[in-house]
Structures are given as C-alpha cells and as structure tokens.
C-alpha cells in the first residue's frame, strides 16, 4: 500500500520535509475550508522511539513542527495529532503548555481529558473511534468490493464518529472507495464537521485513564482511553 520508498523513509532513507516542500498544497487545504494541525516533525522517530526520548527531545520535536507550521501558514497551531496514535506522560505534559484547543493522539470512543499514572491533563483528546481503511483491508474477508459496507457497519448513531484518513490511502489507492463512503453516508443523513467544532461540544468531557493496547489490523501499541 505504501511502497518500498515510503517504508524506508526515516530508517534507511532520510525523511522528507513534506509540508515545507509543498506550501501551495497546504495553503490550498486552508483555503478549502479545512482546519490544519500539527502531526509530527519526524514521524518515524516518534512512532518507534517516543518512549526512549528525553523531555528535551520531545519538546524539540514540537518546536520544529510548530515553527514549520508558523512559517507556512503564518498562524499558531491549535491542534495536534500524534503519529500512530501514540503519546505518553511526557508528551502530554508538553502539549499542555502549548495552548491547544484539542489533540487527537488516541483511539477510543468519546472525547476525554487524559490521565496517566494519576497525572491529569487539560488538553482535550478527541480519539479516532472508527477503523482506518488499511486496518480493515488487513482483516479476513474484507476487500475493495465490500470495504464501504464494512465501514458503514462500524458507524454508531451517537455522535461523533471520528475517522482518520491518509492522503496515501484515501487520496490514492482507495480514492474511489472513499468517495463512495462520503456519498453514501451523506445520503444516510450523516453530517461532517472539523474536529475544532466537535471540541466545542465536549468542554465537560470526563477524565479517563490512558492505556496501551493492540487493535485489529494494526501493528504496534496505540494509546487508548479506558
């Protein structure tokens, strides 16, 4: 799905500075009415080594990505989303100092305020609560022919349903399926909203402990709400 070159970025090959090299693309996203947040400076480093990084190095990762954001968009970032849905005590402490509207670093069900080892944090977490395409395709009996039907089966009536999409997946190899999913859900009465709108409805969200678990179709642990 990702290709050999992509999989080698950050390991055998140096990771490209994607947003910094594509100012016009990022700006077109903003002009299209979408909100923009910070994902990562070095995705592979964070995904594979967060637990080994010092507080200073984690802070440096945030500073580099925030500086790039300001350089491209001329504004302060108001949201972050951690690579591979992985965060820890240190990264959440640093995020709490960044004046964010919310973060989306976890999997779970409804928005919550995270707690790790008794430490509570003030930055709202809006967890992804729907499976990603690459996770579903990794399961038995699911392929491009029935993918959209399975996606819709996972949706719940109680709002919000939070889905993470990737440019290299929904914007590329599964572009047609993503288009079908959008059209079908809209015809069913579902409405789409950016996460900053959803965040405003959950200021009184509960505090929940963060745990680490494996989820179907994905390798590696993810942070999740209990």
The domain defined by 4-225 folds into TIM Barrel (3.20.20)
Distance (Å, rounded) from C-alpha 45 to C-alpha 215?
21
pLDDT score recorded for residue 27: 86
Burial 34-62 (b: 16+ CB within 10 A, else e): eebbbbbbbbbbbbbebeebeeeebbebb
- Taking only the tens place, the pLDDT of each residue in 116-153 is 999 999 999 999 999 999 999 978 889 999 999 999 99
Torsion of Cα atoms, 88 then 89 then 95 then 100, to 10°: 80
pLDDT tens digits along 79-124: 999 999 999 999 999 999 999 999 999 999 999 999 999 999 999 9
The reported pLDDT for the residue numbered 222 is 97
Locus of tokens 């399926």: 177
Per-domain residue ranges of the chain? 4-225
Residue 26: pLDDT band by 50, 70, 90 thresholds?
A: confident
């Amino acid at each position: 799905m990702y290709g050999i070159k992509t999989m080698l970025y950050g390991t055998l090959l140096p990771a490209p500075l994607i947003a910094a090299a594509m100012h016009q693309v990022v700006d077109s996203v903003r002009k299209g009415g979408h909100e923009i947040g910070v994902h990562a400076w070095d995705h592979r480093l964070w995904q594979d080594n967060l637990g080994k990084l010092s507080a200073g190095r984690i802070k440096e990762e945030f500073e580099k990505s925030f500086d790039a954001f300001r350089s491209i968009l001329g504004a302060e970032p108001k949201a972050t989303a951690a690579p591979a849905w992985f965060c820890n005590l240190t990264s959440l402490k640093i995020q709490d100092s960044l004046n964010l509207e919310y973060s989306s670093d976890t999997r779970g069900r409804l928005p919550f305020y995270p707690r790790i080892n008794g430490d509570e944090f003030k930055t709202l977490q809006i967890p992804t609560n729907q499976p990603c395409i690459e996770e579903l395709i990794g399961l038995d009996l699911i392929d491009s022919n029935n993918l959209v039907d399975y996606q819709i089966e996972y949706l719940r009536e109680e709002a919000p349903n939070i889905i993470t999409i990737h440019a290299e997946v929904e914007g590329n190899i599964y572009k047609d399926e993503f288009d079908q999913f959008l059209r079908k859900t809209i015809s069913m009465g579902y409405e789409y909203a950016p996460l900053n709108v959803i965040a405003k409805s959950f200021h009184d969200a509960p505090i929940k402990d963060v745990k680490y678990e494996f989820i179907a179709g994905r390798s590696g642990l993810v942070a999740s709400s209990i």
